[in-house]
Amino acid sequence: MRIERDSFGEIAVAEEVYWGAQTQRSLENFKIGEGKMPIAVIYGLAEVKAACAKVSWQLGRLDEARAKAIIGAAEEITNGKLDDNFPLRVYQTGSGTQSNMNVNEVIAHRANELLGEDLVHPNDHVNRSQSSNDTFPTAMHLAAYKAIREGVLPELGAMIEVLEQLVEQNTEYIKIGRTHLQDATPISFAQEISGWLGMMQANYRQLSESVSELLGLAIGGTAVGTGLNAPEGFGELVAKELAEKIGYPFYSAANKFHALSSKDALVYVHGALKSLAANAMKFANDVRWLASGPRSGLGEITIPANEPGSSIMPGKINPTQAEALTMVAVTVMGNDAAIGIAASQGNFELNVFMPVIIDKFLESATLLSAGLESFRLHCVSGIRANPERMAENLERSLMLVTALAPEIGYELAAKAAKYAHEHKLSLLQACLELQLVSEEEFKKFVRPEEMI
């Protein structure tokens, strides 16, 4: 052990770690849950520290040696070399101060190691012109934006490509449509797939448009939004540096009081993730309904058999990928409620639910991108039509009578459908027995291929 010091006094810290006194105090005081601060947030904080050090150097507020050492240590963090040095839980101070200090201390310790002497202080140098109140929300936006741009959107694009291919491959199959889980009028299987495709395309558009709300950064606001202890233009210069380094058009938020106290951008973007979760739920449920059976269900499609489905029933195969994706969807919907409530809290100049907001946001983005990828690779790409069952269900459907309504009227058409159902007849047989149309007329009017 070694002895570290902060404004509270001395505390023992393990010799082999890079963190210092404030991290150690948090580690001992907040043993709540098992979830650690997401590493994407830690990387975001490290990117902020590097950018701030570079700007402070440019402005003459930090010497070259310290600045380069801070930048070097921060880059080691973003490269994943120091991941074991960030042990703090999500459930800590609502401003994320302790994780901000965790990063400050690790960078300071490693920077001094690089320099060969103790020149870098976690507060005075690594945190110069900053507050946890502006660095943490800035890191939140960096992490959230990347999670959407580099995770969810690429996977949505891949899913769209697979569905486009399925539409092209299934234009010849006509099946019965269903509303309220009851037989409706005919539809082509390609049209049904196009509904799934349209959902994914809408989600891609919604996320692409909403994610731009995350580009505005709180950096430069320091403690309460006034920019106290930061030079004029500091936030703008840091945002520009981050944009150039990361490759996305980040900018300094115009109103820092809003940027520190409100998390509405994250609520807004997560709303698009919730929309995706809702569509994913519907998509997965459609697939498992259509694949149900294989002999006593709808059985209109087959999906890949990936693993045994039962520990007691030999040969049973279950729609496990659909089940996994629907569980993801439920989690995202729950996360949306947590994020919305958390964003409504906090008082005056600061939201104090930030760690849980970003934890839930990143969980949603990660689960959706991984869940959709798994569903695409192990289920959707292997969907195949069962034309024989589609034709059988289509022929037995009573709602084909809809095509007769313009010829014999709604009331008589309904009478024919009810009569067929009650007497277990085909629609043709019912119409003939009721003398509503001739067989020739029936075949002329009831043509499923013309009803789609």
Which residue numbers are catalytic?
Answer: 180, 310
Residues facing residue 6 across a β-bridge: 9
Is the backbone peptide bond immediately before 294 cis, with ω within 30 degrees of 0?
yes
* Euclidean distance between CA atoms 65 and 67, whole angstroms: 6
- Write down the residue that tokens 């809290």 correspond to: 345
SS3 (DSSP) at 106: helix
H/E stretch holding 334 reads helix 320-343
Query: Can you spell out the DSSP letters for 362-399?
Result: HHHHHHHHHHHHHHHHHTGGG-EE-HHHHHHHHHH-GG
Contacts of 440-443 with C-beta under 8 Å, sequence gap 24+, read: 441/407, 442/404
Amino acid at 145: Y
- Compute the half-sphere exposure of residue 303: CA atoms within 13 Å on the CB side of its CA: 26
Amino acid at 445: F
DSSP letter assigned to residue 183: E
User: Among candidates 314, 320, 300, which has minimal Cα distance to 392?
Assistant: 300
Q: How far apart are the first and last CA of the chain?
A: 75
Alpha helices in 187-305 (DSSP H): 189-210, 234-246, 256-261, 264-290
The answer to whether 413 and 405 have CB atoms below 8 angstroms apart is yes
**What is the CA angle 376-378-379, rounded to 5?**
70
Contacts (Cβ under 8 Å, ≥6 apart) of 349:
133, 224, 225, 257, 260, 261
User: Among candidates 435, 261, 223, which has minimal Cα distance to 345?
Assistant: 261
Pairing of strands 174-179, 182-188: antiparallel
* Euclidean distance between CA atoms 452 and 450, whole angstroms: 6
* Euclidean distance between CA atoms 274 and 286, whole angstroms: 18
The answer to whether 336 and 329 have CB atoms below 8 angstroms apart is no
Q: Which two tokens stand for residue 77?
A: 């963090």
SS3 (DSSP) at 324: helix
